[in-house]
Amino acid sequence: MTLQENCSIKPYSTFGIEAKARYFVKVSTVEELSEAMHHPCIADLPVLILGGGSNLLFTKDFEGLVIKIEFKGIEIVYQNEDIVLVTAGAGEEWDNFVSICVEKGYAGLENLSLIPGVVGTCPVQNIGAYGVEVKDTIDHVTVYDRNTGQICILTNADCHFGYRESIFKYSAKGRYIITSVSFRLSLNPVFHTQYGAIKTELAAMGVNSLSLIAIRNAVISIRSRKLPDPLVIGNAGSFFKNPAVDAIHYMRLHEAFPGIVGYELADGSFKVAAGWLIEQCGWKGFRKGDAGVHAHQALVLVNYGQATGSEMLSLATEIQSSVKAKFDIDLEMEVNVI
C-alpha cells in the first residue's frame, strides 16, 4: 500500500475536473483497506471512498484521504438449473462484468449495459435503466464496517433499496465500504423490452428472436447515440433524479403541458422525466464556457474541457431554479458534490 500526498484525482473522475486529495491510496485487499483506515496520517481526517468516479463532482480539493477501491475477481458461488449466484469484486469495471454475464447466459443485468462505474458503486445508487434496477438482482453485499473494522454481509433487505438510493447513501452513509457484490441471476431469461426505445431499436437492428446479447447490443446502441462518452467529454451520466409528484400536481401539469413525459407509480404518484423538464426550460445544448448541457440529452451536464467544479455546480443550480419556477418541481441531484 502506497500513500500519496497532494495527489491529482482528475484521472479518477469521469467529469475530468482538476482537484487534489491531501492523501490518496489504492487498495485491492481487505488487509490494505484496514491498513489505510488505520494509517496514522489520517487521524481525524475525512475519508472518501472512490470507485469508478462516475458519480462525483469535485468543487474543491479534498482535505482528507481518498481510497480508490480496486478489489478484483469474479466467482460463481452457486448454480442450479434456474439461477446462478455470481460474486464480483467492488473494483471490477461494471460494463465488463455485465458483458461477461450476458455472454454466459446469466440474465438480469443486460438492460444495465454501458453504465459507467464499477461493481461496488452499483448498490449505492441502486443504478437503473430501461425498466430495470440493480436491486432486483442483488443477493447480498459484502462490506467493511468502519465502526467495527470487520467484514460483514448485508442482505438485499438490509440495504433498504429505493429509487436511486440505499442505506449506503443515507442512514449508513460513510459507515460501510463495499468490497464485493453478489448477484442472483437467472438462467431462464425474462426479457424487458417495454421501456424506452428498446423495441424500436431491436426492430431497426433486424432482430426477430430475443436474446440477452440482442438486448445488450440494443441498449449499447441507444446509449452510445444519446449519451456522451466520458472518455471524450467529461460527464457523470444523469445529473438529476427523475422527480415524483402527487397525482393532483401531475394532472395540473398535464393540462398546462400536454406533452409532459411521465408515468404512474404503484402508490398513485407520477414520475416525471427530468430530462424533459430541463429541455422545456431551454437548457438542452446550453453552454457557458466549458460547462454545458448535452445537446442530445438534457439530463446530462458536460465538461467540455476546462470547466471547474464550481462552474458545473452553478449551472446545475440554475437549472434547478428554472425547473422549480416553471413546473413547481424540485430537482434532486443524483451526482454527489464534494
Q: 262: pLDDT confidence band, cut at 50, 70 and 90?
A: confident
- Of 41-50, 127-136, 252-261, 312-321, least confident by mean pLDDT is 41-50
- pLDDT surpassing 70 at residue 203: yes
pLDDT score, position 28: 92
Judged against a pLDDT cut of 70, whether residue 337 lies above it is answered with: yes
225, pLDDT greater than 90: no
Confidence check: pLDDT of 144 > 70: yes
* 229 — pLDDT class (breaks 50, 70, 90): confident
Handedness of CA 131, 118, 109, 166 (dihedral sign): negative
The band of 196, judged by pLDDT with boundaries at 50, 70 and 90, is low
Residues near 152 by Cβ (< 8 Å), separated by ≥ 6? Answer: 142, 143, 145
SS3 33: helix
Residue 324 sits at φ, ψ, to 5 deg, of -65, -45
More confident: 129 or 324: 324
In order of their start, the domains of the chain are: 4-69 (3.30.43.10), 74-186 (3.30.465.10), 234-337 (3.90.78.10)
Average pLDDT of the residues of the chain: 91
Q: What is the pLDDT of residues 28-69, one digit of tens each?
A: 999 999 998 888 877 788 999 888 788 889 999 999 999 999
Predicted local distance difference test score (pLDDT) of residue 137:
96
Percent of all residues in the chain with a pLDDT value above 90, rounded to a whole number = 65
Q: Average pLDDT, stretch 113-127?
A: 91
> Is the pLDDT reported for residue 73 higher than 90?
yes
pLDDT recorded at residue 170: 84
Q: Measured between alpha carbons, how far is 20 from 35 in angstroms, rounded to an integer?
A: 22
Catalytic residues: 164, 238, 334
With a cut of 90, say whether residue 323 has pLDDT above it: yes
- Model's pTM, two decimal places? 0.84
Please determine, for residue 263, whether its predicted confidence score (pLDDT) is greater than 90: no
| DSSP string computed for 139-174 | EEEEEEETTTTEEEEEETGGGT-BTTB-TTTTTTTT
Q: 128-132, 141-145, 186-190, 299-303: lowest mean pLDDT where?
A: 128-132
> What are 213's three cell numbers?
446479447
* Residues 289-311: tens digit of each pLDDT: 999 999 988 999 999 989 999 99
- Specify the pLDDT at position 122: 93
Which band of pLDDT confidence, cut at 50, 70 and 90, is reported for residue 209? confident
* Residue 226 scores a pLDDT above 90: no
Centre a 10 Å sphere on the Cβ of residue 131 and count the other Cβ atoms it contains: 12
